[in-house]
């Protein structure tokens, strides 16, 4: 298995660049210089708040979703099993990054983000999204109480609960994005917990496997 670090769907959007990091390169190497020049400052809290990055190095506070419409602007999220969501307007005029762990997913962070984006004049029908590498249902075993909480909120389904005490957060976030009206949503199905390269080495940092340490960064920007 290999990991190219890109979404074919997002790669089709004109005027943007994006990448999902991995263990070999926690920050996508080809984007590192541009990211370092323009990255915002923020702290992820497993909440649902969103901020717009309006200038290089902008202080965005405690948020788990970022967006920018500034030429030259970049946004990103840090993950190690949680779902990194990158989004873009089809014409490349705006981009967004969302961190969706199980708490953010349960609290519908994508719906909260789209409340903010609509208020800023954005139309989800003109946007596309990609969900990057995260812990997949093969490895995401949870307690019965948490599974029952998800079933109570979102309903029982084989897609959400592919087997007993396992959840598919990527599928659920895809459904929530489509419910908001996002035109197309792609899932990159690499599992951060168990995906390996041809030599049997892990492809991604995983909190469940490593217990802590380095995370990978998923970034998207408007290089112009």
Q: Tell me the DSSP string of 102-160.
A: HHHHHTTHHHHHHHHHHHTT--GGGEEEEE-SB--TTT-B--HHHHHHHHHHH---TTT
- pLDDT number for residue 212: 74
Q: Is the pTM of this model over 0.75?
A: yes
Specify whether the CB–CB gap between 208 and 81 falls below 8 A: yes
pLDDT score at 163: 85
Beta-ladder partners of 99: 84
C-alpha span between 5 and 63 (Å, rounded): 24
Q: Which CATH number fits domain 8-219: 3.60.140.10, 3.20.20.140, 3.30.360.10, 3.30.160.270?
A: 3.60.140.10
pLDDT of residue 132: 97
* Average pLDDT of adjacent 10-residue blocks, the chain of 224 residues: 81 97 84 94 97 97 98 96 98 98 98 98 98 97 95 92 93 98 97 94 92 86 90
**Domain limits of the chain?**
8-219
């Amino acid at each position: 298995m290999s990991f190219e670090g890109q979404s074919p769907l997002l790669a089709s959007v004109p005027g943007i660049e994006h990448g999902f990091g991995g263990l070999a390169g926690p920050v996508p190497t080809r984007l590192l210089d541009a990211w370092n020049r323009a990255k915002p400052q923020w702290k992820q809290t497993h909440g649902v708040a969103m901020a717009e990055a309006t200038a290089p190095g902008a202080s965005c506070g405690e948020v788990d979703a970022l967006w920018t419409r500034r030429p030259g602007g970049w946004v990103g999220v840090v993950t190690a099993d949680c779902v990194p969501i990158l989004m873009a307007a089809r014409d490349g005029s705006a981009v967004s990054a969302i961190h969706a762990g199980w708490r953010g997913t349960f609290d519908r962070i994508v719906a909260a983000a789209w409340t903010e984006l609509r208020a800023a004049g954005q139309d989800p029908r003109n946007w596309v999204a990609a969900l990057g590498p995260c812990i997949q249902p093969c490895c995401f075993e949870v307690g019965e109480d948490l599974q029952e909480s998800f079933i109570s909120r979102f309903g029982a389904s084989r897609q959400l609960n592919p087997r007993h005490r396992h959840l598919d957060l990527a599928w659920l976030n895809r459904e929530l994005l489509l419910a908001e009206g996002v035109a197309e949503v792609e899932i990159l199905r690499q599992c951060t917990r168990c995906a390996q390269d041809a030599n049997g080495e892990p492809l991604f940092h995983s909190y469940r496997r490593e217990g802590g340490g380095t995370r990978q960064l998923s970034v998207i920007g408007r290089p112009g």
